[in-house]
Each structure stands twice: as structure tokens, then as C-alpha cells.
Chains A and B, each alone.
Chain A
């Protein structure tokens, strides 16, 4: 006999629960329109939106898991997975490519242990090449300035 499948909330850690509880204190009257701001605020505390965390949030705001996961997984800046958000998002926009973004990618691959991925145009094309390090845009990047900000975060 197979037992009942665990609900997502059962995977929530005490830290996940505490973060959700703390954020919901700032949103005392939760409505669906507040879902994205709540997800952003929780991710800012926990560095990601694990399945357990989302499951617990669903219980707290009385929404189906599929609805919340559907929203959380739609947005590129949210990490709706058990993996935390990447540290560096390197702009893959064409102006950044023309300004040497691919060399920066090589630097990230070879000279750091930072987690990173390519990210669509960040809107810093006048100061290419650019990346988001954490939540903050960095621009006019060179190999050395990139290493400096990345090391500063680790």
C-alpha cells in the first residue's frame, strides 16, 4: 500500500515558515493582487521559493498550489525551485554581446565559483556590458570589475 502523498507544505523548513509568516505580517489583508509582491518579499528573505515554502504559503493564503506555483514559475526573477536564485545574471542582449559579454561569461566559467546564467536584455545598453549581481545592475563591466563585485558578494 502506498500512503497518502505528502503535501508540498510538509517540505517547508522552519525557516521557510518563519519567512512566510513574517512577510504576511506586512500584508495583513492578503488578496490575490498581492501575490507577486508577497513572492518577491519572501524570496528576498529566503533566496528562493522552494516547493515546501510555496506549499506553506498556499496554506496560509488559502490558494491552490497549482495557482501559486503557476505564478511563481512564470517570472524569471523568481526561483520557483529548490535551487536558490543565481548570483549573477549576465545580460545576453545584443549590445552587451557587441561589448564583450561573452568574454565575461568565460571569466565567470573559469575564474569564479559563482552561480550565473544568461539573462535577456537588462536595459543597460548604453553602459554595456551589464549584469545583475544579486538584485542590482552592474554596468560598464570588465573582467576585473566583474570579479571584484562577484567576489564582494561571496
Chain B
């Protein structure tokens, strides 16, 4: 079984409120080295590492950082901790059990790109993560690792913790920025991208919690070391969130390219119930993967070949007793509820999807409903402003592709 124990090395091992324990378990090594080698070489290390964003978009982190480093000050660093993709809870675990690492990474990021202010935007449903991060920030401040002169270097950096208001859409980076600015969390049209015009219209670096968790490791051990983990299609360690019909649901860390079957069978202990019917990979905005595809390596290229994506790293498993179209409808209802309503394809499309999915039973189904779902899906995917609308139809289209339409009238 391919194991990797870098991102979760301290989780459940150290006392998450103790800076001393954090430091004695490898903590702050990345920041110390960053202050030694200077901003330009930190960006180089991150670029060399091959790290890509773990929030779902898989954008090369080094390229983002280099863009920000070249932008004019003032600029901001944001940690996107508004983890709300259904089936996803890895950021919660990292913040609850290793909060210092996330803040250390933000300081490194600020140092590398030349920002002095950071925001951690944590979903409002994670009060423990919020308390842990706030407490960690206070401890770092007390020891001079946050504040006017980080580690005595003369570089000033501090963070402000913000709690989300309960809106999935605020995980979208520009919606999150609007939320911090005190506005409705509605996404902005891109371009301009946040690296150019982000928070308060200033250049802004925004990274997901898990992305940041990799940074101290990369800077402490070097980008070359990091790039030797995993496979070309997914470099480095990766967290997956297993839930649904598995014996041991939880967050598991594997090197990039580990097969899906291994996560399901070995890490998560196999199926609860008769047998796996499918998993939904990547969260509600993900795609269904069926057992004959379980040997697919979990890396971006291999998954693209089967029409899937890693998304947020969520893997929700369904055994053969599950009415899969009932699940499809529930995920569609989630998007209809969470659409911010700003743009028509998403506002109307998410509701129309639910309507059609409600009448999908053979007894109620209308001629052309399948084609209608495909049509709606294509319009949402190509015409929505943001990632929510662009991906909300993915699971519906994927289900149409993988599963026969329901035959009975049992709902």
C-alpha cells in the first residue's frame, strides 16, 4: 500500500495548541529557511516542486506566486479555508489538528510575494478549526513569528481570521473576496484575475488550505525533493476524503498516482454492504466512477482519460443498494440551493435540473428529458460566470453517461 505521511504527520500526534510541540516536530523549519534564502528563491522552490492548487482547479502554485511577486504593493495573501464541497473535510482536519502549519505557510507566502497582510477565511460551520487557527495565530504573534518583524527579519506580516456566513459559493475565490469586503458573496467575472485585481482591488494571492500545507515542506526540504514524490500527473502527497459506504471513512494521504481501489479497499477498509456500485469522485461537482475503473491512478492525466477529475479530493462511495438517481437528484438540489443567483445559466439551470430529475422515473419521464438534461448541462457549463455553475452539471452528465435511466416508479 502506497503510504505518504507528510501532510498528516503531526495530525493526532502533537497537541494542536502548542507551538513548542509544533516546532519540535519539524514546524517552522520552512519559515526559517525562507528567511535565509530570500523571497526569490522561495518562489523558485515552489515552482520547482511542481505543486498545483489542491482546491480543485490544479493551477501551478509557483506560477501564481511568481505573478504575485511581480505585482505592485500593497497586496494580500488569502488562505481559502471555506471548504464546503460536499464530501470534503481535509481542510477541517488540517486546521483542527495542525493549525500552525497553515499559518507558517501563509507567512512564507507573504514573504515570497511581498505581502504584509493575510486573511484566513474559514467556513462558518467549522468553529473548532476557527478557534484552533486563532489560538495558533496568537501563539505565533507572542513568539514574534507574526507581527512587525517576523523572526527578527524585519519583514512584517500578520493575519486576520474571518468566519464565513454559510455560503458554498464563497469558496469561489472572487466571491470570497467580496465576502471579506463586506459584500454579498457573489463571484466576479474573470479576468481580471485576483493576481492582478483581487481583494480591495489589489493583487492577491489566494491558496487553498491543503495547497498551503505543502509549502513549509517544500521550502524546508526543497522543491526537488517534493517533485520526487508521486507521478508526473500529480506530484507530491495528496489528501483524499473518504465517506459514504466505506468501513473507515476519513482523510487519507497517499502519493500522487495511488490507485482509487487502494484508497477504497486498503485505507478506507472496503465497502459497507454488498459491493461498490460507484463512487462520486471530486465532490458534488465531480464525476461518477464505477468499479471497472477503480484501478485508475489518482492523478490528473489518468483521470482525464476516463472523464474524471480529482476536484476537491472527495470520494463518496455508494454500495449496490443505493438508488443512484436519488443521489444525483440530491446533489442537484444542493447546487440549486447554493447557486448565488447572479447569472442566469446557473440560477435557472440548477433549478431546471432538479425539476427534470424529480420526474425521471419511468412513470413520469417525458420524451426528450435526457436530451433536455444534456442541453441544460451544456448551457450551464459554457455560460456560467464561475466554477459553481460551470461544474454543477458535471455529476448529472456523468450519471447519464454511466447509469441507465431509472426503470421503476419507486419515488
Chain A residues close to B by CB (< 8 Å): 31-37, 39-40, 70-71, 74-78, 92-95, 97-98, 119-128, 132, 135-137
Contact = CB atoms under 8 A, between A and B. Distances in A.
Contacts of A33: 180-182, 200
Q: Which 7 A-B pairs have the closest CB atoms?
A: A75-B165, A77-B166, A35-B182, A76-B166, A125-B243, A121-B86, A32-B182
Interface stretch (B19-27, B124-132, B400-408): B124-132
Nearest to A136: B127
Contact of A128 (B128, B165, B184, B249): B249
17 contacts: A33-B180, A35-B182, A40-B163, A75-B124, A75-B164, A94-B87, A120-B337, A123-B83, A123-B92, A123-B123, A123-B125, A123-B126, A124-B89, A125-B87, A125-B89, A125-B243, A126-B89
Contact of B316 (A94, A122, A123): A94
Given A35-B182, A71-B182, A123-B88, A95 B166 contact: no
Interface in B178-210: 179-185, 200
B184 A94 contact: no
B330 A94 contact: yes
B127 A125 contact: no
A36 B127 contact: no
B84 A121 contact: yes
Contacts of B125: 77, 122-123, 132, 137
Contacts of A122: 125
Given A36-B162, A76-B165, A136-B127, 14 more contacts: A33-B182, A35-B182, A71-B182, A74-B185, A75-B165, A75-B167, A92-B330, A93-B334, A95-B86, A120-B86, A120-B168, A126-B243, A126-B251, A137-B127
A126 B86 CA distance: 11
Most buried by B among A35, A74, A93: A74
A123 B125 CA distance: 8
A40 B165 contact: yes
A68 to B, nearest CB: 9
Nearest to B181: A33
A95 B279 CA distance: 12
Contact of B334 (A76, A120, A125): A120
Contacts of B127: 135-137
Contacts of A36: 162-163, 165, 179-180, 182
Given A33-B180, A94-B327, A125 B165 contact: no
B331 interface: yes
A39 B182 CA distance: 10
Contacts of A95: 86-87, 243-244, 249, 316
A62 B242 CA distance: 48
B210 to A, nearest CB: 14
A124 B85 CA distance: 11
A54 to B, nearest CB: 14
A40 B126 CA distance: 14
Interface in B139-174: 162-168
A31 B181 CA distance: 9
A76 B166 CA distance: 5
Interface in B92-140: 92, 123-128
Interface in B221-268: 241-245, 249-251
B392 to A, nearest CB: 13
B44 interface: no
A122 to B, nearest CB: 5
Interface string B316-332: 10100010000100110
B284 to A, nearest CB: 8
Nearest to B125: A122
A74 B167 contact: yes
A64 to B, nearest CB: 13
Contact of A123 (B89, B167, B181): B89
Contacts of A123: 83-84, 88-89, 92, 123, 125-126
A76 B87 CA distance: 19
B161 to A, nearest CB: 10
Contacts of A98: 244-245, 318, 322
A86 B69 CA distance: 45
A125 B167 CA distance: 18
